[in-house]
Amino acid sequence: MTVHFFTFSDERGGSSRQRAFRVADELNARGMRSVVHRPSALEMSATSWPKKGTLIAQLLRALASVRKGDVIYIQRAISNKYFFALLTTYVFLFRRKMIFDVDDPIFLHSFFKTVVLTRLADAVVVNHHALADWARRYNPNVHIMHISLNFATYKKFEHNYIATHRPVVIGWSGNGVEHRYNLAFLASVFTKLRRDPRVPEFSFTLIGALGYKPLYDMFNAVPELSTRFVDALDWNDPESVPREVQHFDIGVIPNATDPKWSKLKSSFKVIEYMACGVATIASDFGEMPYIIEDGVNGYLASDEDDFADKLRKLLSDKELRARLGEAGQETVRENYCYDAIIPRMIELIAFVSD
């Protein structure tokens, strides 16, 4: 039996890298043959005719390689109409077993295609509870499997709270351009803190600025804030993010986006920060309340003032940072690493293939 992954993007895209390429690697390492096919839906959308015809032929060859008893794993691949039509037609006509993976509220952008694949799937894998509630309207076989990571890799880059250094480093990692409104929320929080004489000195590291000038201007405008901009990382290197995150004293996940989208969102950043033992504060949205127990393994903030208040506490108390960081790391080890998630995935695939 082979698991055939058909993806939204190539491995440079965070969603497909974490939900397909690295999952396939882990399945192969555990003896379950898996292959990630090309092209991706995004590649097909970005290719014009007549070259698009070559990609369609490539996709048809990939589908033809699926044998009875194999499992097709569709990772969010709804963005291209040709890709969607070929996959759904093949699964329906040849009665192939199929798992549909949804890690964002993509039905807000393409309701019809998301519902069709959800109904057609033998099982649906989602990233968090709110998406599970939505998916169960159309398919009873829904499983919550969070984006996970190799715990040993992140543990190797564990933050050292014993060492004393100044200033305290606050850090954020991600695609800065996509999160510019969330980062504007954070810049406002920083401005409040810099005006408060009780707050210790701190600096900010922004990983994923991508050379985007408005982000530079935004944080350079915060009074007396030293900001280190990391324009890009090798995101395909599994050690690139933890190697940087280990230098954070506090990891932050601000959220100020559309509530319809954000309440159905999760964040891999929180898992990465916590896996490195970094004390974490996140806006109270989406899956965050299921991951973070406020004041136990991190902090949840209800609004800008609450975010600033809890960030002030963390900045002022190294022991608090160490305690929350240690508890957060244990949360990831128990619930959000490959050793916790991949065995469940293997069990589901085996059940679907029967």
Inter-CA distances, 129 with 18, 286, 296, Å: 19, 8, 21
pLDDT at residue 123, as a whole number: 98
Query: Within this chain, do residues 91 and 222 fall inside the same structural domain, yes or no?
Result: no
Number of domains composing the chain: 2
Q: Is the pLDDT of residue 13 over 90?
A: no
pLDDT single digits (tens) 273-297: 999 999 999 999 989 999 999 999 9
Pair 221, 317 in one domain: yes
Q: What is the pLDDT of residue 111?
A: 93
> How far apart, in whole angstroms, are the C-alpha atoms of residue 144 and residue 125?
6
Instruction: Judge whether residue 261 has pLDDT over 70.
Output: no
For residue 250, give its domain range. Answer: 152-335
The pTM score is 0.92
Q: Which amino acid is at 192?
A: K
Is it the case that residue 302 has pLDDT exceeding 80?
yes
Residues 95 and 241 both lie in one domain:
no
Render the burial of 180-199: b for 16+ CB within 10 Å, e for the rest: eebbbbbbbbbebbeeeeeb
99 and 70 Cβ atoms separated by less than 8 Å: no
Tell me the two tokens of residue 26: 């882990």
| Average pLDDT score over the chain | 94
How far is 191 from 155, CA to CA, in rounded Å?
A: 33
User: Within this chain, do residues 190 and 134 fall inside the same structural domain, yes or no?
Assistant: no
- Judge if 196 and 266 occupy the same domain: yes
**CB contact set of 289 (below 8 Å; sequence gap of 6+):** 300
Q: Would you state the pLDDT for residue 266?
A: 76
Residues 76 and 31 in one domain: yes
Structure tokens at 289: 């309340």
DSSP, res 200: P
Q: Give percent of the chain with pLDDT exceeding 90.
A: 87
Is residue 170's pLDDT more than 80? yes
**Do both 132 and 183 map to the same domain?**
no
DSSP tag of 197: T
Taking alpha carbons only, the member of 12, 69, 16 closest to residue 350 is 69
pLDDT value for 206: 97
Backbone angles phi, psi at 323, to 5 degrees: -65, -45
- Residue 17 DSSP label: I
Confidence of residue 166 (pLDDT cuts 50, 70, 90): confident
Dist CA 145 CA 199 (whole Å): 39
Per-residue pLDDT tens over the stretch 173-213: 999 998 999 999 999 999 999 999 989 999 999 999 999 99
User: Is residue 331 domain-shared with residue 342, that is, in the same domain?
Assistant: no
Residues 26 and 70 in one domain: yes
Whether residues 157 and 292 share a domain: the answer is yes
Q: What is the pLDDT of residues 99-142, one digit of tens each?
A: 999 988 889 889 999 999 999 999 999 998 999 999 999 999 99
Q: Report yes or no: 145 and 125 within 8 Å, Cβ to Cβ.
A: yes
Same domain, 191 and 326: yes
Which of 40-49, 230-239, 316-325 is predicted with the least confidence, judged by mean pLDDT? Answer: 230-239
What is the per-residue DSSP string for 312-354? HHHHH-HHHHHHHHHHHHHHHHHHSBHHHHHHHHHHHHHHHH-
114 and 36 share a domain?
Answer: yes
Give the span between the Cα atoms of 342 and 11, in whole angstroms.
19
Assign 258 a pLDDT band (cuts: 50, 70, 90): low
CATH number at residue 136: 3.40.50.2000
What's the pLDDT score for residue 165?
Answer: 75
